[in-house]
A and B are shown apart, each in its own frame.
Chain A
Amino acid sequence: MRVAIADDSALFREGLAMLLTAAGVRVIAQAAEPDKILAHIADEPPDVVILDMRMPPTFTNEGLVTAERIRSLHPGVGVLVLSTYADIRYAVRLLGDGRGGTGYLLKDRVEDVGNLLDGLRRIAEGRLVVDEEIVAGLLAHRRKAEALDRLTERERAVLREMAEGRSNAGIALRLHLAAKTVENHVASVFTKLEMPVSGDDNRRVLAVLAWLRSSGGVIPRLAEGPPPS
């Protein structure tokens, strides 16, 4: 796996590069600002670009803007945006086209190398990755409480994993369940929450997130994007 890292904090960038290198990932480019990393990607596209959310010049949402540019210029390159804060709107905007190959994680996740690598791998495979903090926040929301109460504890766990962007196989692995059991739980969740079943994993993530963000039940139609590359 080859990654490029863009972060204006040299300390964090170096630490992350070191960690990934030790885990067998090739860090092929590093930069402190968006334009430089774009140049590197143009020279040699990595599998995944890791972008800091707040970078020069405005230190607001450069990571997101750069991610969108990379998605349009280099559709084959996966993008992982790391952010100090969990912002649901940024996450949804980033994953919004439903094409997959994008992820939104808190910077804190670097402490768990396994988890980070798992995320990178899933992004490289064209899947969506959503930080557990965002999903937990959505699940905690009172207005969904009634609908969520209809789920069993196991079903809620499955829902959370779906929202974080895991496939049925991934969920089975994480929750130590048989694949068949996961499928049953997923079907049951969709029925109980009156959600239309989606065959496409990435669309499923967005549908679940949309359901969690809405006041329950009403799913905004998603724009049909091109199929994942």
Chain B
Amino acid sequence: MPHPYLPRPLTRMAARHRSAALTTAGVMTVAITIAAQWPAWSTTPFPAALNVFVSLTFVLTGLLLLDEDALDSVSSAFVLGGVLWTASWAATWEAGPSAVISSFAYTHFWVCLGWGVLRYPTGRLHDTGERVLLGTAVAVIPVGNLVLIALSRPESFGYDPGVWWYGSAIGLGVFDAVVHTLDALTLVVVVAFGVAIARRHRRASALERRTLGPVALGMLAAFTMAAVVNLFVYYPQGAEIDPIFIPMELALFAIPVAFAVAAVRRHLARARIAQLLSGLSTPPTPAAVREVLRAAVGDGGAELYLWMPERGFHVDADGLPAVPPAAGGTQLALPVRTTAGAPLAVLSAHSSLERDRDLVEVALNASAIALENARLHAMVTAQVDAVRATRTRLVEAGLAERRRIERDLHDGAQQRLLALSARLGLAREQSTDQATVAALEGAREDLRAALAELRGLARGIHPPVLSESGLKAALENVTEALPVEVDLDVPEDRFDTTLETTAYYTVSEALANTVKHADASHVRVTVRLFEEQFLIQVTDNGKGGATISDGGGIAGLGDRVRALGGEFTLSSPERSGTRLTASIPWSGGVEGDG
């Protein structure tokens, strides 16, 4: 199959310099078409003018469709069709090779048109039937025309006998037989084209139908007209344009106009949506995309339902699980797919949008990327929130467990040992035997040590004063007995238990490290609750050089702070003190005094 493709560099240039290309091509087409049928202007200006418009719309539509996806061949067909239509009217000059050029161009114009429309909108022929049809059309129409010229003289077709002609006449009977055969075949081809286009129309999506409908009607009208005209007048001829061509020109005129209108509508819709989408925040929220879609399709009540593959249900623009309403009644349910073709969302809109279905689909396709981003963002956010919540719960559970263990120790083992202590004291009071007294003294010593150890252990697990009197009191208790000057810049407020406990352990551990390693004389402890940040800072004036060792107490604190979504830093340059900072995101504010 010959492919009337426009050369690549030409199409690329035209696409890059769109307005210049359109202007140049338009002006040239008008000029050449006026010139091509110059003799006809004085006799039949109306059809001549219509021809100018037909050629112009064909060429301009072809160029406009250049950057539409998969419309390369269609746009080439239009541009070439425009050129061929212009050349068809060279016959009006009635001189030189005008008649041959004209009939050649005219027959090729129809084939080119059929070829372009058959390749719309995918850019490919669909099946063998269509390929055969196109092959037949080429054989019957342009090739048949060349054969006819070869078997005739110009006057057989009503041309001026003076024009250049390569054929020589044969017997009139044979010539007539050939002509009738070709006319019949042409009719068959036209009918077959009609069937092919009708089949296309049936299979087309709503969007394609809106474009294809008028195009198909125009095509069928023009083809039928051409076939009928073909029975009376073979080709454009003579200085006067036969009025029979006027309806044909009007029908032809409709074809590119239908294409152009559809293309322009899509362009405008895309431009509008692109403008709306470009104004979205990054990452876009589903609600923002919904607003864009509402504005784009002109339905303020349209609802968007994002499909969440991980969770197996839809969520509405606010992220709440929802079931998209089924299509029917006054509702449309329009699916949106990802670039990979997976389900992405459903737009539920008013069914009056069916009329503008193509624009709605353009809008949905344009917003797919934004929606995909929004969905990804929503999924990631949800996951991060879930992880953070889980980690916070783990930390809280750990702290609650510590409180429970401390209480169990206090109410159980410690009371038991204290009771034992009382009994031993009593036994010692009552015993008179020297050896027994010595043994009891030893036991008391052991018990005293055991109690002290257990108290230290229990307090380390969870200092009771923390839950009773709050962070400041608990830290005062810690610093009361430290051999180092501590400035406590801590509010009296009660905070959330998790915060209090985390701050307590962080400060205690930092102070213990300072006492053990830093050789500091002064430590400053700052605890602050800013808007959404709980800040803990311990700064000493020691020798610095502290590091976080794996498995050490400081490392464990860092893990705990990070598990609450916070940040933990240790800055300890040599000879210039150590500063430990923990900051935990918190939106709860301070607790009531309790």
Q: Contacts A108-B448, A108-B451, A111-B424 given: A12-B464 contact, CB under 8 Å?
A: no
B247 to chain A, nearest CB (A): 100
Distance in angstroms between the alpha carbons of A12 and B430 in the assembled complex:
19
Residue of A11, A89, A108 near B416 (CB, 8 A) is A11
A15 contacts the other chain (Cβ, under 8 Å)?
yes
Residue of B407, B418, B464, B465 near A110 (CB, 8 A) is B418
Distance in angstroms between the alpha carbons of A107 and B411 in the assembled complex:
13
Contacts of A111 in B (CB 8 A): 421-422, 424-425, 444, 447-448
Q: Are B451 and A9 in contact (CB under 8 A)?
A: no
Distance in angstroms between the alpha carbons of A137 and B459 in the assembled complex:
16
**Of listed B418, B423, B447, B473, residue having the most chain A CB within 10 A:** B418
Interface size class of B (residues with CB under 8 A): 35 or more
Q: Are B482 and A141 in contact (CB under 8 A)?
A: yes
Residue of B420, B421, B424, B476 near A89 (CB, 8 A) is B476
Q: At the interface with chain B, which of A17-25, A121-129, A177-185, A188-196?
A: A17-25
Q: Are B444 and A9 in contact (CB under 8 A)?
A: no
Contacts of B420 in A (CB 8 A): 15
A138 contacts the other chain (Cβ, under 8 Å)?
yes
Contact residues of B between 325 and 350, Cβ < 8 Å to A: none
Closest residue of chain A to B483 (Cβ to Cβ) is A142
- Against A, the Cβ 8 Å flags (1 = close, 0 = not) of B440-469 are 000010011001100100110000110111
Contacts of B485 in A (CB 8 A): 142-143
Q: Contacts A54-B410, A108-B448 given: A85-B455 contact, CB under 8 Å?
A: yes
Number of A-B contacts (CB under 8 A): 101
A152 to chain B, nearest CB (A): 21
- Against A, the Cβ 8 Å flags (1 = close, 0 = not) of B467-485 are 1110001001100111111
**Of listed A8, A60, A137, A143, residue having the most chain B CB within 10 A:** A143
Contacts of B411 in A (CB 8 A): 8-9, 59
Distance in angstroms between the alpha carbons of A200 and B424 in the assembled complex:
37
Residue of A15, A84, A89 near B422 (CB, 8 A) is A15
A118 to chain B, nearest CB (A): 14
B429 contacts the other chain (Cβ, under 8 Å)?
yes
Q: Are B422 and A18 in contact (CB under 8 A)?
A: yes
Residue of B421, B422, B465 near A87 (CB, 8 A) is B465
Given contacts A19-B429, A113-B429, 7 further A-B contacts (CB under 8 A): A54-B410, A84-B418, A88-B477, A108-B418, A111-B444, A137-B480, A141-B483
A-B contact pairs, 16 of them (CB 8 A): A9-B419, A15-B419, A15-B421, A19-B422, A54-B410, A60-B464, A60-B468, A85-B465, A88-B477, A108-B421, A111-B421, A112-B425, A113-B429, A137-B481, A143-B485, A145-B483
